[in-house]
Amino acid sequence: MKHNVKAPSVGESITEVSLLKWVKKNGEAVKVGDLILEVESDKATVEIVAESSGRLSILKPEGSRVPVGDIIAEIDDAAQGSVAAPAAQPTPAQPAASAPTHAASSTSVAMSTMGPAARKMATETEVNLSQVQGTGKDGRITKGDILSHQSNGSHGAAPQMTPSAPTHTPAASTAPQREGERRVPMSHLRARIAERLVHAQHTAAILTTFNEVDMSPVMALRNQHKDAFKAKHGVALSFMSFFTRATVEALKMLPDVNASIDGRDIVYHDYYDIGIAVGTDRGLVVPVVRNAGSLGFVDIEKKIAELAKKARDGKLSIADMSGGTFTISNGGVYGSLLSTPILNPPQSGILGMHKIQERPVAVDGRVEIRPMMYLALSYDHRLIDGKGAVTFLVALRDFLEHPEKLGLEY
């Protein structure tokens, strides 16, 4: 008996997922509970395990974007699989420029009994269906059958290409424009990042205000306690916990910066869910440290370490990244000296941290070399006035230059 593997539902508002990586190969034997596939939505990566034992037949290749609920593979519990895949994974066919029509009655009958995915592929490739052996229920032709037929070199009639209207958009063609150029589809995550950033630019009145902070006091306090802190709790004492604690205290003084706009209403949050932007191989993600206002340095460091590891491993859940009332982005870890971060909707503020760099500054009428950091607050000017933005940064700087106010206890 064949058991269908379907594209999973990974969130209430998500209708499509991307097949990120087949962990098991086409034709390989799998057991119940084996990890067979990683799928990616615009919010998270989810692992799919086998719910039956048998031979795995992959119907959708890596990189495919498929609707939730679509059949992406089958597991045949009556067939013996092998560790080595007997056939290559299916690869997506290049779409024809226009959809051809067929007059043969046998083709029409076959088309009427095929599933949507197989029917679409048959139309696009003009495969001769009378030469395709169906392996589906009641001998129906599946998309996998068409792919297998093509891989064996039996393509039927070559598709007729209809000239299309000229276009000035390079992205209209999937072929490389010149030698050395290649084109790959955006991942769901990257596409979602792009959508959200453009949406933020188009819907909010984004303005950025800058200040700078002398990091000497934080660095001195951290150096004094970091060894004992790590020895006792197993996590490093980083600058992020100082900035998270200072941000929470500044937000308490300027509640507008922690608020958001919903239509013609202002939604104030009397809690502090702080998003921490993390760069990964797949793009920027923003997991959330929840109720940061009630957390001390130890709990903040543990939570940030946990979320950062999950982000690097692609294990963040939707719940890990949902919500958030304010975001901190640390471009300084990459060497950024100054930047203007973009809002993370529907939030009204985002703080940019930057590289700590020694610079000459005036201190009590003398020039001294101090480790300085530029701070950038991007904010929605519809809600936050310049005075509020500047006041927030001044308060933040005060907490960082007097870190004893933050109550380092461990």
Kindly report the pTM of this predicted structure. 0.61
pLDDT for 361 equals 95
User: From the CB of residue 403, how many other CB atoms can be counted at a distance below 10 Å?
Assistant: 19
Q: Which residues, 6 or more positions from 410, have their beta carbon under 8 angstroms from its beta carbon?
A: 225, 228, 229, 232, 233, 296, 297, 298
Top-ranked range on mean pLDDT: pick from 139-143, 161-165, 249-253, 279-283: 249-253
Spatial CB neighbours of 101, under 8 Å, sequence gap ≥ 6: none
What is the spatial distance between Cα 323 and Cα 302, in angstroms, rounded to a whole number? 20
pLDDT at 191: 74
Range 376-395 average pLDDT: 97
Span 329-334, average pLDDT: 91
Scanning 45-88, the segments in alpha helix (DSSP H) are none
pLDDT at 135: 66
Residue 86: predicted pLDDT = 41
Those residues with Cβ within 8 angstroms of residue 316's Cβ, 6 or more apart along the chain or in another chain: 44, 45, 285, 287, 307, 310
Whole-number pLDDT of residue 283: 72
- pLDDT per position as a tens digit, 92-106: 444 444 444 443 444
Residue 274 has pLDDT above 70, yes or no: yes
Tell me what pLDDT residue 156 has: 41
Can you give the pLDDT at residue 399? 98
**Are 2-76 and 191-406 the same fold in CATH?**
no
CATH topology of domain 191-406: Chloramphenicol Acetyltransferase (3.30.559)
**Residue 18 tokens, joined:** 């991307």
Task: Report the chain's mean pLDDT, rounded to a whole number.
Answer: 82
pLDDT value at 365 more than 70: yes
Res 147: pLDDT = 65
Question: Is the model's pLDDT at 91 over the cut of 60?
Answer: no
The pLDDT value recorded for residue 15 is 79
What is the radius of gyration, based on Cα positions, of the chain? 28
Q: What is the mean pLDDT of residues 164-187?
A: 61
Across residues 356-379, what is the average pLDDT?
96
> Which residues are catalytically annotated?
381, 385
Tell me what pLDDT residue 11 has: 61
8-64 pLDDT, tens per residue? 876 655 778 888 889 999 999 999 989 999 887 766 677 888 999 999 999 999 888
Q: Give the mean pLDDT of 324-342.
A: 93
pLDDT average, residue stretch 262-291? 90
Whether the per-residue pLDDT at 319 is higher than 60: the answer is: yes
Average pLDDT of span 175-204: 77
Q: Where are the domains of the chain?
A: 2-76, 191-406
What pLDDT does 121 receive? 65
- Please count the other Cβ atoms lying within 10 Å of the Cβ belonging to residue 221: 16
CATH of domain 2-76: 2.40.50.100
- In whole angstroms, how far apart are CA 17 and each of 64, 80, 142, 361? 8, 29, 21, 52
138 exposure class (CB count in 10 Å sphere: 0-12, 13-18, 19+):
exposed
**Residue 88, pLDDT above cutoff 90:** no
3-class DSSP state of 27: coil
